[in-house]
Structure 1
């Protein structure tokens, strides 16, 4: 792949790859299981909100909104925001790595293999540790107020892809989650703003997913996954070239 692709070129290449015979359909099938999990969590969350509203009294909500806010905080299930990404972790990352393979030129997707590819000794615990490290760093950033958390999120955003490549190509498969997070931070120096702008350009898709209650995520996500993978591939290529020049 040629280095230094623009954001528009990354998105165009993602569309081109998806237009290969059968690729988009296969990626949609691969996304069905994560989509179903997302829908279930969404339904559980909505039902929980309705249950709290019912117990408090719908008629009281208009008269006592501040009391309802306090009541909701005390009686709502706060485990969902943490449990959902953890349950989805291996499924979504497996499909994300398949999207990276497609962006790199693969023209065939095995949906079942894509969604289950991380449930093995090579990747399972490493992916979990990458997630734990990034969450801990994010929480540290949040405790230092919101602004420091934003660079941390974007600085560690390539950690999973780096772990996948590192674990796949390293000698004897020795590549740690901590190495992946550290390499992501180094790789994203000077690229955080570019990634932020790319994400901003895709905001319309995220809004569409939200207002449709995630009912069409399995159709939308293949494109977003290939764009994300394309950004990583582009930045990774540039970073490797810089490292080679320094050596």
Structure 2
């Protein structure tokens, strides 16, 4: 019988890890946090600067401007992805080895030096496509599938670190995540809900609280995966 840690246990272990190490955790996640804030802000306030009063305005010009903005946004999102995943993966390393010595800031750029960086981007695109297609059916199935795919990047890192990646295709990582989450989607969903109070506190503090909340959240999610694989083989 599989015995998973409770939400309280997962969080307590992270709090114990963070005790005396808050500065290290903040430095590890501060760049992803800033990028997240920038992307959310630009997403809600983005505009295409077109002078509609220009008598020479042409629809082709508008289309080219919109397309360029879309391409730039997409490229930036991929850069943000690699930075965030680099920090996320280092967080998992830290969960697995609490005594791990690492440079928090440099850890944000680990996968820019990896020849396999493009694989993470392809996985990102595949997850986006699969989730979108499920969402076309109904919103709820899309959310469920999003939860089922939530461990994909951790699976990718885990299998690559173990030298088992040659046995897997990129879609296999998604499939393995889905298998790991069988019977665990509700646990993951409730764990996410348990942070609502913290998110509210972060907004009330005008975002300052997220400097501490975000590392706590990210490390708890890494600990959730660590707990999953401790009870399930991913070989």
TM range (shorter): 0.7 to 0.9
Alpha-carbon deviation of 1:203?
A: 1.6
Instruction: Tell me the SS of whatever aligns to 2:121.
Output: helix
For 1:136 and 1:172, the matched residues in 2 are separated by 22
Structure 1 position 130 matched with structure 2 position 128: no
**Match of residue 94 from structure 1:** 86
SS of residue matched to 1:117: helix
Q: Give runs of aligned pairs for residues 117-196 of structure 1, distance below 5 A.
A: 117-171=110-164, 175-196=168-189
RMSD of aligned alpha carbons: 3.2
Query: TM-score by structure 2 length?
Result: 0.78
Q: How does 1:16-165 map to 2 (within 5 A)?
A: 16-19=16-19, 21=20, 23-45=21-43, 48=46, 85-107=77-99, 108-165=101-158
The whole-number CA distance in structure 2 between the counterparts of 1:45 and 1:215 is 21
Contact in 1 for aligned 2:33/2:214 (Cα 8 Å): no
Tell whether the 8 Å contact from 1:39 to 1:215 is kept in structure 2 after alignment.
no
Name the CA distance, whole Å, in 2 between partners of 1:174 and 1:118. 21
Q: Does the aligned pair in 2 maintain the 1:138–1:152 contact within 8 Å? A: yes
Displacement of 1:45 after TM fit? 4.6
| TM value normalised by structure 1 | 0.75
Aligned to 1:201: 194
Does the aligned pair in 2 maintain the 1:126–1:176 contact within 8 Å? Answer: no
The question of whether the paired residues in 2 share the 8 Å contact of 1:99 and 1:229 is answered with yes
Residues 201 and 82 of structure 1, relative CA distance in 2, 3 Å threshold: farther
